[in-house]
Chains A and B, each alone.
Chain A
């Protein structure tokens, strides 16, 4: 079984400040990890994903995440927050293997608020 825990249902930062959204996962096999963003009344948009190889993954809109196997973490960061980053962010995990192909297991989400 796999699961995702996002620490902090709400995160508030000032414009220009560092954004750090925390994600820890549980998986019995090597995981594939994703971060999605959801703007109000919209579907989910993929920010970045980790499969294999380089553990630091760069995504769209200046976001990046680092896979740390020893800590079972995949935290999302952005050096400087912008007002347009305000949204809800979801961490998700999937496993390789035909029986679980493409099944994403999501965390509870973190709402990011950016103050002027």
Chain B
């Protein structure tokens, strides 16, 4: 059973560019959350998708947007990249059973470097 997969593994962009990161959830999961982990920090919640809609959002600007597809996979888009966007971007999937304790399974992440 494949776990959460993310692509690409690493990415280098320059300031002002746009980037798209992809995530495939664990088999049977319907909810995808995205987190940003800056170097030396804990992950910070960006947003969550369920039923192809953004259900909640953390304290991130509108430059960060996402999408969920009918097969539950998801994309994270970041526009007008800033140096401060350099981080490890983690995708987590879960099966929404109605409780906040639903276990989130994390992928290996995409390392984004903005030059």
Contacts and interface: CB of A to CB of B under 8 A. Distances in A.
Contacts of B27: none
Q: Is the interface of B mostly helix, strand, loop or mixed?
A: loop
A113 B24 CA distance: 32
Given A43-B106, A49-B101, A95-B100, A107 B4 contact: no
Interface residues of B, number: 29
B43 to A, nearest CB: 5
A96 B100 contact: yes
A43 B25 CA distance: 13
A73 interface: no
B106 to A, nearest CB: 4
B100 A102 contact: yes
Contacts of B44: 106
A42 B104 CA distance: 15
Contacts of A77: none
A108 B31 contact: no
A115 interface: no
Interface of B: 4, 31, 33, 35, 40-45, 48, 55-56, 58, 90, 92, 94, 96, 99-109
Given A90-B42, A94-B101, 9 more contacts: A42-B108, A42-B109, A49-B101, A96-B100, A101-B48, A101-B96, A103-B58, A104-B45, A104-B92
